[in-house]
A and B are shown apart, each in its own frame.
Chain A
Amino acid sequence: MADKRIIYMDHSATTCVRKEVLEAMAPYHAERFGNPSSIYSIARESKKAVEAARGQVAKALGADPDEIYFTSGGSESDNWAIKGVALANRQKGNHIITTKIEHHAVLHTCQYLEKEGFRVTYLPVDRYGLVSPADLEKAITDTTILISVMYANNEIGTIEPIAELGAIAKKHKVPFHTDAVQAIGNIPIDVKAQDIDLLSLSAHKFYGPKGVGALYIRKGLKVHNLIHGGGQERRRRAGTENLAGIVGLGKAIELATADIEGHNQTIRALRDRLLKGIQARISDTHLNGHPEKRLPGNINISFEFIEGESLLLWLDDEGICASTGSACSSGSLEPSHVLMATGLPVEISHGSLRLTLGDANTVADVDFVLGVLPGIVAKLREMSPLYKGKKGG
């Protein structure tokens, strides 16, 4: 087991920390450990490091540094954006618009607010997972106080028309939040040009450390605090800063956004080789998500007649790390809400496989997966009563 080759194709779940990021973080654990809020010189060094990272994040988003707030990650950023805007605008209205395919950090926050008296519209998506700008505009009412639409979907990789949606939100003067956790490093972002008022991001999705993220809040926007306590983050987010994590986030976002187009070309070429290879070798497949408007490293494909968890177990046996939208792997026994929202039949959603490629993947990795996947699918289909029925014996 120890020397078994691991092929990691689950980059939408998390990524490894890049060497340059690790190196940047290293001094901030044991040497430059000062509390950024203290007054002595090593603390001032810490403060400088936090502000440098803030600058790096701001630059990557086209924001001002004082519009960036560090958090514990994507979930906190989403919670803060949604609860914070909702509570700050209670007098204006109680209506929130989001979509059916958001991450649970957004969906469950909205469901919580529904229990607290807010009204939430969950916009549908088309078969590719796209939100319609016309649907958004129709859903806006006088009481709408927040719109939250994810930049790119974590499961099927579909990229939403964020600039168009942002322009509609702006026209109706409704704050617009986007969960951009999957988008950073894959899509060029400019919060001003794209009319984004709040944006969530998380370092571990772009080769930074886990447990650190950020929320961009447009200057002047009213948002209640989520974490109360000390005066950190200009009195808007309490808690001693995750110093090494923040330094790592800054370095990671700088590297991830340095050459997005170049990175995308490489990843997309690998992804397309893998996807075309799968489609050529295996029958009865269904590509989930949009054929073009999708994250460069994302494949989400359903294999009819088989179940995803079995597939993952066999892939794991070959050292391949992937994920599925099947209910049977989630512990909840509910199939992926994203696949359901695209109208995919439940039984086909059980056979979905998500492969998300990243910087470390090679042509050899792709060809290895193409070498073993058809055999695994065939083995499981051979065992499946559905396949037998379909093939008439």
Chain B
Amino acid sequence: MYSDKVMDHFKNPRNVGEIENPSGVGEVGNPVCGDIMNIYLKIENNIVTDAKFRTFGCGAAIASSSMATELVKGKTLEEAWDLSNKAVAEALDGLPPVKMHCSVLAEEGIHKAINDYRKKQGLEPWVEKNPHAHEHVEGTCGL
């Protein structure tokens, strides 16, 4: 049911762990739903210079965390913000429909971490462009 890419990122997850003194942290998910993601970002000169994660969840949740942190590394803050859940899923060669919410969680985690950084910098948090994604994606837990 999972692509080879998903299995690769599940079995050899990139960027597991935490960043000391992170620029921004995003904690998303709910243990009742069966997945929690913590995303840690290091941001220097508007560039994401490092990204790490800790995830409680299924294979797709772990692979999505791994892929999303890979994809934002080296990006500008604006580019990292524009990373969509679809882009994460596509980079993994697709996710089963019921697992699409795992990629949504990764997008949310990145957004939360970026806004955490912006708040710490005294900047206005950015507004979610596609809040619909979180409600209409198949397989959300409803909490």
List residues of chain A with CB under 8 Å of any chain B CB: 305-307, 309-310, 313-314, 317, 326-329, 331, 333, 335, 346-347, 350, 382-388
Contact = CB atoms under 8 A, between A and B. Distances in A.
Interface in B55-88: 55-62
B32 interface: yes
A305 B33 CA distance: 13
B128 to A, nearest CB: 22
B117 interface: no
Count class of interface residues, chain B:
20 to 34
A310 B2 CA distance: 12
17 contacts: A307-B35, A307-B57, A310-B10, A310-B57, A310-B58, A310-B62, A313-B11, A327-B141, A328-B57, A333-B33, A335-B34, A383-B55, A385-B37, A385-B38, A385-B56, A386-B31, A386-B36
B11 A317 contact: yes
B55 A385 contact: yes
Contacts of B27: 385
Contacts of B31: 346-347, 350, 386
Which residue among B31, B36, B139 has the maximum number of chain A CB atoms within 10 Å of its CB? B31
Contact of B56 (A305, A329, A335): A305
B98 interface: yes
Nearest to B65: A383
Contacts of B94: none
Contacts of A385: 27, 36-38, 54-56
Contacts, number: 72
Given A313-B10, A385-B36, 20 more contacts: A307-B35, A307-B56, A307-B57, A309-B58, A326-B34, A327-B34, A327-B141, A328-B60, A333-B98, A333-B140, A335-B34, A347-B32, A347-B34, A350-B31, A350-B34, A383-B55, A383-B62, A384-B54, A385-B27, A385-B37
Contacts of B36: 384-386
What 3 pairs across the A-B complex have the smallest Cβ distances? Answer: A328-B58, A347-B31, A309-B58
A333 B57 contact: no
Contacts of B37: 385
Contacts of A333: 33-34, 98, 139-141
A326 B16 CA distance: 23
Interface in B17-60: 27, 31-38, 54-60
B5 to A, nearest CB: 14
Interface of B: 2, 7, 10-11, 13, 16, 27, 31-38, 54-62, 98, 139-141
A228 B37 CA distance: 53
Nearest to B98: A331
Given A313-B10, A383-B13, A307 B34 contact: yes
Contacts of B13: 383
A328 B62 contact: no
Contacts of B33: 327, 333
B32 A346 contact: yes
Contacts of B58: 307, 309-310, 326, 328-329
Contacts of A327: 33-34, 141
Contact of A386 (B56, B59, B62, B98): B56
Which residue among B11, B13, B57, B141 has the maximum number of chain A CB atoms within 10 Å of its CB? B57
Nearest to A383: B16
A306 B59 CA distance: 11
B11 A328 contact: no
Contacts of A331: 98
Which residue among B36, B38, B56 has the maximum number of chain A CB atoms within 10 Å of its CB? B56
A177 to B, nearest CB: 33
Contacts of B11: 313-314, 317
Contacts of B139: 333
A306 B58 CA distance: 9
Contacts of A328: 34-35, 57-58, 60-61
A346 B36 CA distance: 14
